[in-house]
Structure formats: C-alpha cells, structure tokens
Amino acid sequence: MKKKQSIESLFAEYIEVVRKLRKECPWDREQTHQSIRHSLIEEAYEVVEAIDHKDLDDLKLELGDLLLHVVLHSIIAEEESAFTIENVV
C-alpha cells in the first residue's frame, strides 16, 4: 500500500516540477510576468465559471490551473530576486 504524501511534500514536489519546466522547457523558459498575464486572467474567469455552474470537477481542474500560475509567477519573481513562493504562502 502506497503511503499518502503530506500536503507539504506534494506542494514541494509540484514546485520542483514547475522549476524544472522553467529550466528545461523552451516555452516555459521564455515566459515573463507580462507574457502570461492574459492566461492568469483567463484561468481566473474559468474558476468563476465553474463556480457559477456548480461544477466541482471543473472547479478542481481550474483551481489547479490557477495554482500553476501562482507558482510560475513566483518562480519568475524568484529568478529576478524580487520574492519567493515562500513569501507568497
């Protein structure tokens, strides 16, 4: 039986995956706060739409997309020595 991971270890693993993508994926590497700002707004609207439709399965997915933006913006800021994900949390 697989042991359940703590939220802390899951989140740390998630952050490391996003950091790896930022370093190794050409598309992720070239993104800036400005270049992905429209996507952040779009994801927020999709969260609201899922809430309005009372679609909890979609809400779960859209919150995950929104979380990705929070982490990615935080990693970009960390690279710029502005702030870290720990500061956000």
In this prediction, residue 75 carries a pLDDT of: 97
- How many residues are present in the chain? 89
In Å, how far are 38, 53, 76 from 8, measured between CA atoms? Answer: 29, 31, 21
Question: CATH number for the 7-88 domain, one of 3.40.50.800, 3.40.50.620, 1.10.287.1080, 3.40.50.300?
Answer: 1.10.287.1080
Which amino acid, residue 21?
A: L
In this prediction, residue 5 carries a pLDDT of: 87
Residues of the chain with pLDDT under 70: 1
Domain boundaries, the chain: 7-88
In this prediction, residue 1 carries a pLDDT of: 65
In this prediction, residue 3 carries a pLDDT of: 77
